[in-house]
Amino acid sequence: MLSCLRSVSGINSVLLSLRRHIQQSKESKKAVGGPNFEELLRIFLQLFQALLDGSQTVEIIWRSIYEGSTPQSKQKTIWNEFLGLVGGGKILGIAAEAETVVNELSKKIGEKHWVADGGLFSLWLARNLSHWIKFLPSGSENASKCCGELLSKSFRLGHTGK
């Protein structure tokens, strides 16, 4: 299942589900009964961690975009979407909000998730970028360019020391 979700559309679907459950949890604070949003949000945060885990995730997603069956005209658009999700902080922001909601619903400080922590997320991204750079085949200008774009975008996350 994780390999099917390890794509831009898969990440977007998990993000949309997280965002929807965050919103529903805020709206249902007054209602009695209904879904256990605390548990749902925890499950989605754990899914995100499993989905992004590893030092080759970024390279795997890049390969699925540029070496897959996607028409060449759409590859850059999909890559830019990925840049926004990872380097632009969308994943980090929504995951952090979900973790805050979980802690509010449980009335205690719960489990910490690395996808919701700016420093840990930056370390994950740094490991992925360094792995990707190390194993770039010579002459792969597009991969080098994309790797540089993600590095540049990631500096905006504010954890450049990582």
* Cβ proximity of 64 and 124 under 8 Å: no
Instruction: Specify the pLDDT at position 32.
Output: 58
* Cβ proximity of 98 and 25 under 8 Å: no
What would the pLDDT profile of 3-34 be if each residue is shown by its tens digit? Answer: 889 999 999 999 999 999 999 988 876 555 66
Give the single-character DSSP code of 34.
Answer: S
What would the pLDDT profile of 30-47 be if each residue is shown by its tens digit? Answer: 555 667 888 899 999 999
Gap between the Cα atoms of 159 and 150, Å rounded: 14
Residue 72 DSSP SS3: helix
Instruction: Specify the pLDDT at position 48.
Output: 93
Domain definitions of the chain by residue range: 2-157
- Overall pTM > 0.85: yes
Closest to 2 measured CA to CA, from 20, 17, 14 = 14
Q: What is the pLDDT along the chain (162 residues), one digit of tens a residue?
A: 888 899 999 999 999 999 999 999 888 765 556 678 888 999 999 999 999 999 999 999 999 998 877 788 899 999 999 999 998 889 999 999 999 999 888 877 777 899 999 999 999 999 999 999 998 877 788 889 999 999 988 887 775 554
